[in-house]
Each structure stands twice: as structure tokens, then as C-alpha cells.
Amino acid sequence: MDLKQNKNKIVFTILSIFIFMLFFYITKLTPLAGDDWGYAVLGRSNNPFVHAFKFYFSWSGRYFSELWGFIVAPRKWLWNILNPIMFTTIYVSMIKLINPKENKILVMFVILALMLSVQNTLRIETYTWIMGSTYVVPLMMFLIYLNIIKPIIFEGKEFNNIKLVISTILNLYITLCMENVAAILVLANLLIILYCYIEKNKNLNKFILLLIVSIIGIIILRASPGSNYRLYRDNKEWLEMSIFEQICANWKNFLNLTFIKNKYMLFGLGISFSLLNYKIIKDKKNIGYILLAISLTTIFLSFNLFSLFYDIEYSRFALLFLSVFYLILVISLFVSLWIGFDKELALESSLYIMVGGSANLVMLISPIFGDRSSLYTVYFIFILIGLILSNLKLDKVLLYGLSFCFILLIGLKTKEYIYKYQAINATQQIRNGEIEYYVNNPDVKEAWLIRMPKGYIHSADIEEDDTYHMDVFKEYYGINPKMKLIFYNK
């Protein structure tokens, strides 16, 4: 038993070090891009706390996200350290939250493989883009918060003053980072309070306090004069729509960013869901056959083999079919969890579905529904997948087979990451040489700068009509502000 425990700890340590080293490597190779330039310029020119305070009144209620940008963007060396720390912390927090009872090493491989296999736009917008990491920071803190409160809720651990203070700070910080994560934090707190009330948990009042803090945070976030001014200035037509019209306008985005584009997540969910349903069948519950058919269909759909079943932009059948199927999938997930697991595990799993799903659901009434907004949905489904796998007894052949597949996926994705980020760095070295020439020759009228490989990095190239990024790019690198920038393909 001790040998097995040591083996689990060794693998966990190796994988944690691996993810730190990989993210350190790719972060170091990635230059600042897009909004990073603007925040770097402003951040090095004045007190970042003052800038973030001013932005609350002129631009955004995301105070701590703005503060992050003003502190980190001017200091690339700091970003090189913080980014791998964040993703290592997220990985460790997910494994600790899942707390695998069975198949521990498999779960460790699965979570790492899924983290490395997020869809491409989500990767470039959150994994190595400084201002995209403003979505990653609250995810990390949310997972830390859940790790603090889970033993208190389910194991009766003491909710001491230190934990309460940390939880209070986390609740305030998270809600002043991003709208959809603020909303799901409030939802999580509400669900926890409901559970504590039903179970007569002695810490109910402390969780009510945390709910109040999170509500205050979201009110401060939404009350931002700058955020409201931009909303009314830039989205008049959107605000004139009814909620139903807004949902209809964003529905394709919702399907794409929750399910269709996340093929590895969907595949992992289908596998874990199928194994759970097989357990239900073995327990002689006939509904398991219906649930298994749904989970196997999920695996099939994850491959995006036939456009008839996934091309919702051009196929009405695909739009209708997937809208109905994914609703059935979510319902069947709840059914499987409550039939296949005990009450406590079913409750915890249901929490992750509701919280994760709500992160994208709230975006249905947002005028901007980008890929990076789906980060929370994707990661909570990762946790759900790990939680299901960690509570199933698998025979050795299946266990080793799945482990091999996910190790192979880790290897392939690691190779892909190294190739892409080395290509980014090589291109940036060429661009640095070009920039140096134009800095030393300020009288040149046009600066020709090489474009980054398409789809490898977010916002590193600037189009001609994007005057804001043109200006901050020139200021960041010290190029003559009157010089015209032209980004050319290699």
C-alpha cells in the first residue's frame, strides 16, 4: 500500500513539474501582443493602482483584472514566472479537488491531457497572452476557494478564521475580475448555502457572509461608470433586443464554445460518461442502456466527422439536432450521476455541471461572447470528467489502455506546443531585428514587419484600420509615431 501511495505521489510530482516547465518554456518564447502593449505602456508610466482606479470610471469594472495588466504587462520577466505558477496551481488544485479514490494515475494523465488539448482559440487567448490571463487568474482562485470549502462542507472540517478571511478575500477578488466568473461564484455560494441549510451545517452563517461579499463584488463590478458607458456607446442595438432575441443571437456561439469546438473535452466526457453508464447496466438498471447510447453518441460527435452533424452555421438540421441532443446530454448526465453515485458525490458532480454550464449560459445575454469566456465551462467539465473516472473500478486492461491513450495525447500536444512556440519565437526574432532597424532609422516612412504564423498567437499582428494598437505598438517599441506600420506575410 505504501509503495502504491509513493508511486502516486511521484507521478503527481513529476506531472506537476512537467506542466510548470512546459508553461515556463512556452511563456518565455511568447512576446507581448495586442492589448499587452497598451497595458505595458500605461503600466510603466504611472502607479498601476491609480490606473486601475481610473479605468473603473472610464473603461471597466474589472478592477483586479485591469490592475493585473498594469502590473504584469510591463514586466515580461514576472509574467514568465507567474504564468507557469498559475497553470501548475490550477492542475494541482484540480487533482486535489477531485481527490481520486480509484485510478489516481489515470486521472492525473487525463486532466493534464485535457488541459493541453483545449481548442486552439481558447489556447492562444488564455494560455500565453498576458491580458487573456485575466480569465485564468480568477479560475485559479476559484479552484483554491473550492479546495478550502469542500472539506468544510462534506467532511466537517473546521471553518476557522484564517480560512474565512482567505475565502472572503478570494470572493471579493474573483468577482472584481470577470463578469461570468463572478456570476458563477454567486451561484456556487447559493447552492452551497442551500445544501448547508438542508444538512443543518454549523457553518451556514459563514457561507451567507461569503455570499454577501460575492454579491457586493458583483454589484461593484456592474456599477462601473466606465463599463456602462462603453456598453451603451458600443452596443445600442444589442440593448434594444429582448432577452429572447439576445439568446437567439448567441445560441450558435453557445453551442460552438460549450460543445462543438471542444472536441477533446467532449471525447473525455463521452468516455467517462460511457464507463459510468456501463456500471449502471452492471448494477442491473435498464435505463443504463439508454444512457449508454447517449454517451456513445457524444463520443461519435466529438470527432466532427460529418458536417451534417456539426456545421451549425450552414446546416439547419445540425443546429436543431445539436440543440436537442446536447440538452438531452445534460439531463442524462444528471440522471447517470444520481443513479450511479452516492448522494454526496452526485451533489458535488452536479455542482460542477451547474457552475460550469452557467459560465457559458450567462454569456448568452452578453454582446460579446468570445472563446476565452468559455474557459470556466471547459475546466469545470474537466473536473467532472476526472471526478467520474476517479470513482469507477476499471479492469487493468482498460486502465492501461486509457492511460496509454492519454499519455500519447500529452506527448503529441507537447510536441505541437514546442513546435508552435518555437516558430513564434523565431518569427519574433526576425521582427525584433526589423524593429531595431526602424528605431535606429526614424526618418523611414514605412516599417515593414513580419507577421506571426496564423493561429499560433493572439493579436500579434495589426491591421491597417486598428489605430489604437498601431499607436501603442510604436510607443512600446520606441518607433517613430509618424511611421506607417505594414505587417507582411513571410
463's enclosing H/E stretch is none
Same domain, yes or no: 349 and 435:
no
Going by C-beta distance under 8 Å and a sequence separation of 6 or more, which residues neighbour residue 182?
Answer: 174, 175, 176, 214, 217, 218, 221
Q: What is the mean pLDDT of residues 137-160?
A: 95
Same domain, 325 and 435: no
Q: pLDDT-derived band of residue 246, with 50, 70 and 90 as boundaries?
A: very high
Question: pLDDT above 90 covers what percent of the chain?
Answer: 88
Same domain, 263 and 380: yes
- Among 460, 478, 457, which residue's Cα sits nearest to residue 469? 460
pLDDT at residue 1 greater than cutoff 60 = no
Average pLDDT over residues 65-85: 97
Question: With bands split at pLDDT 50, 70 and 90, how would you rate the model's confidence at 244?
Answer: very high
Q: Do 437 and 373 share a structural domain?
A: no
The total number of residues written for the chain in this structure: 490
Q: What is the pLDDT of residue 314?
A: 83
Least confident of 28-32, 145-149, 198-202, 389-393: 198-202
For residues 290 and 329, membership in a common domain is answered with yes
Whole-angstrom CA distances from 454 to 163, 384, 459 are 45, 33, 10
Residue at 246 is within a domain:
yes
449 and 328 in a single domain? The answer is no
pLDDT in the model for residue 490: 82
Q: Structure pTM?
A: 0.96
263 in the same domain as 349: yes
Residue 135 has pLDDT above 90, yes or no: yes
* Domain that includes residue 362, residue range: 241-394
Q: What value does the mean pLDDT take over residues 40-49? A: 91
pLDDT (0 to 100) of residue 3: 65
Whether the predicted pLDDT of 336 surpasses 60: yes
Asked if residue 306 has pLDDT above 90, the reply is: no
Which residue has better confidence, 158 or 2?
A: 158
| Same domain flag for 386 and 427 | no
Q: Is residue 294 part of a domain?
A: yes
Q: How far apart are CA 20 and CA 86, in angstroms?
A: 9
Helix (H) or strand (E) holding 484: strand 484-488
CA distance 354 to 380: 9
Query: What whole-number distance in Å separates Cα of residue 426 and Cα of residue 431?
Result: 9
CA distances from 482 to 36, 348, 438, 447 (A): 21, 58, 12, 10
Indicate whether 306 and 447 sit together in one domain.
Answer: no
pLDDT tens-digit profile of 79-121? Answer: 999 999 999 999 999 999 999 989 999 999 999 999 999 999 9
Q: Residues with Cβ < 8 Å from 212, sequence gap 6 or more?
A: none
Q: Is residue 249 part of a domain?
A: yes
Averaged pLDDT score across all residues of the chain: 95
Residue 390 belongs to some domain of the structure = yes
One domain for residues 246 and 376: yes
Indicate whether 373 and 440 sit together in one domain: no
Cα 191–Cα 100–Cα 149 angle in degrees, nearest 5: 35
**pLDDT band (50, 70, 90) for residue 480:** very high
Residue range 132-138: average pLDDT? 98
pLDDT tens per residue across span 180-194: 999 999 999 999 999
Query: Is there a domain that residue 346 lies in?
Result: yes
Q: CB atoms < 10 A from the CB of 120, how many?
A: 13
Instruction: Tell me how crowded residue 102 is: count the other CB atoms within 10 A of its CB.
Output: 13
Q: What is the pLDDT of residue 307?
A: 64
pLDDT, residue 56, reads 94
Mean pLDDT within 397-426 = 97
pLDDT tens digits for range 272-300: 999 999 999 988 888 989 999 999 999 99
- Could you tell me the sign of the dihedral formed by the alpha carbons of 385, 3, 398, 102, in that order? negative
39 has a pLDDT exceeding 70: yes
Are 375 and 261 in contact by the 8 Å Cβ rule? The answer is no
- Does the residue 361 lie in any domain? yes
362 lies in a domain?
Answer: yes
Q: Of the given ranges (4-8, 104-108, 139-143, 273-277), which has the lowest mean pLDDT?
A: 4-8
**What's the rounded Cα separation, in Å, for the pair 261 and 263?**
6
pLDDT reported for residue 70: 97
Report the number of distinct structural domains present in the chain: 2
Looking up cell 499582428 gives 461
Return all residues near 271 (Cβ < 8 A) that are at least 6 apart.
Answer: 299, 385, 402
Percent of the chain with pLDDT over 70: 98
The average pLDDT across 450-459 equals 96
Position 45 pLDDT exceeds 80: yes
pLDDT band at 342 (very low <50, low <70, confident <90, very high): very high
Work out the pLDDT band at 125, boundaries 50, 70, 90: very high
Residue 199 inside a domain? The answer is no
Residue 352 and residue 264 share a domain: yes
